[in-house]
Structure formats: C-alpha cells, structure tokens
Amino acid sequence: MNVKIYDTPEVQSFLNIVSGFDKEGGSDRGKQILHRILSDLYRTIDDFDISAEEYWSAVSVLNALGQASQFGLLSPGLGFDHFLDMRMDAADQEAKCAGGTPRTIEGPLYVAGAPETKGFARMDDDPDPDGEIMWLHGQVRDTAGKPIPGAKVEIWHCNSKGGYSFFDQSQTPYNLRRTIIADAEGRYRARSVIPSGYGVPEGAPTDQVLKLLGRHGERPAHIHYFTSAPGHQHLTTQINLAGDPYLFDDFAFATREDLVVEGKRVEEHTDAKQHGVEGPVTEVVFDIELSPTEEAELQARHKRPRAKENETQESQLAGTARV
C-alpha cells in the first residue's frame, strides 16, 4: 500500500473535527497545538507508509511507558529537556540577562521538602559502604563576583549504586537530598558520598525506544542543584564528575563544558575535619554565579509537577517516576 491522502479535503476537514475546531468548549490553545501534532503525525503515517502493525506497536510502547511511569525518563532521552534549556538560553540572550553559571536539565527525580540547614549539611543519612566520602562545597556569587549571603542551595544526587532516595524505597526518604542556606560569605558545604553514573533499566520501555535509535541509556555521575536568592535568576543545573566514561555521551544531553568538575582526593581536609569528617575525602568544588533579575517569576523555579511539592494528583504522579 502506498497511498497519499494527507492533503485531501476529507483528511483536512477530518483533522479539524478531531481537533474540536467545530465545538465551542475546551481550550483554544489546546486545540491549536493538538491540531498541529496530529497533522504532523498523520502526515508521517502517510509519508512513511506506516503499517497498522507498526502503528499499534507504537501504541503498545506508549502504554508500557505510561504504566512504568517512564515518560519523564524518555523525555530527556529524546532531547526535549535540553531543547527547553536551549530555548531558555536563547530567551536570556535576547533579554540581555545571559551570564552566570549555565543551566541544565532538572530531570524527573527532585523531591520537595528536603531538610534545611545553615552553611553545612551532612547529606548521607544511610550507610553506603561502597561510597567514597565526598566533601562538596562552593560559593554563591553574583555575576560581578560579589558573594550572596543566605542564597538557597538545594542539592540532590544518587548513591554509589545509582539509586535516588524516595524513588528507591530501600533508602531513607531524604537520603542525599538537602537544602543549604549559604553562610555570610555565600558559602555552602556538604558531606556526602560520591554518586555513580546510572543507566535506563535494560529492556524497559525507554530502553526499547533508545535501542530502536541505536543509542544507549547511560548517564555519567552527576549532582543536581537548584540555587536561588532574591534579586537573582533561579538556577537549575547539574555538575558532572570528570573522568566518567559517559561524561560527553550522556543519554539525557545534560553535560555542559562549564559544569564538569574534578573530584580531588585529599588525605586530610582541614575544613572537612572541622565538620567532623576524619580521614581521606574526595573534594568537589562548585562555585555558582547567579544573574541579576527584577522579575519575580524568574527568581523562582518554573512550575511543573514535582514529587511532594503539594497535594495535587500531578505531584503524586511525579512521585511515581521510575528510573
């Protein structure tokens, strides 16, 4: 079968009806967007002569993705998260508020409500015998290099097995998740464990889609950050640990040159020792620069469903994300 019917009046008017253009209710914007997406998909079916079998296989993969709560995992894999970052970078350029530490993707595994401390936090609630002790610290500054006292630094990362607390229920709920309020010099410090890289589970629906593209689902070791302070643009970012084999081959496209940080082994770290850490540590330093803004909306993280953010069903669903 090789027919082309997309451009016929019947199909075009059918698309209008399917998109609710002849109905009063619903959302005009929703109708316009769905009409575009459906039009593109109908045309794809026509152009590639997609068979019924191929179409229903795709439906089955979508069902499996939903059942496994993996759309949030496939999303960065298909580059959507990075594409949204590229759009925000371009908007910053246009508004002439570029500069500061680069943003990168949030991912689906943030959990709101982590314990908050001032200046220093111990993040590892659970023992991790295979994990190296990480001494993570840095200074939050503005783009002129002036420290920002009281900046809010939220950090979350996985353990040495690649598991995130809350989603991995074998861990204490907020293990390796903390909010640190920077001290009078804008500094934050944390004792934690060096995270490992991790991959999409073998055979999972996300893995099936990536395999179709001849791609892997591995991520290099990384640490997530939200950083905010009044009068400054909220920053969502991650750092990557240098030396990881997937450093520049991240399936989620999150690595950025300026966000690669080297972990250095220090046999006896004076500052860590003052915070009760005996013996060798791997020191990771990450200074953060925030751009100025007067716009209240840009000073807070953008809205999206996040685990434990509120009582909505979307928030609860975000808490079922799987990796």
Binding site for Fe ion (CB under 5 A): 107
Task: State the nearest-atom distance from the C-beta of 247 to Fe ion, in Å.
Answer: 14
For residue 17, the minimal CB distance to Fe ion (Å) is: 43
Q: Work out how close the CB of 68 gets to Fe ion at its nearest, in angstroms, rounded to a whole number.
A: 18
Amino acid at 24: E
For Fe ion, give the closer residue by CB, 100 or 107.
107
Nearer Cβ to Fe ion (107/263): 107
Which of 167, 177, 200 is CA-nearest to residue 319? 167
> Is 157 within 8 Å of 223 (Cβ atoms)?
yes
Least distance between Fe ion and beta carbon 156 (Å): 8
Q: How far is the CB of 108 from Fe ion (least distance, A)?
A: 9
Q: Which is nearer to Fe ion, 107 or 131 (CB)?
A: 107
Shortest distance in whole angstroms from residue 218 CB to Fe ion: 12
| Pick 222 or 234: Cβ nearer Fe ion | 222
Between CA 269 and CA 271 the distance in angstroms is 6
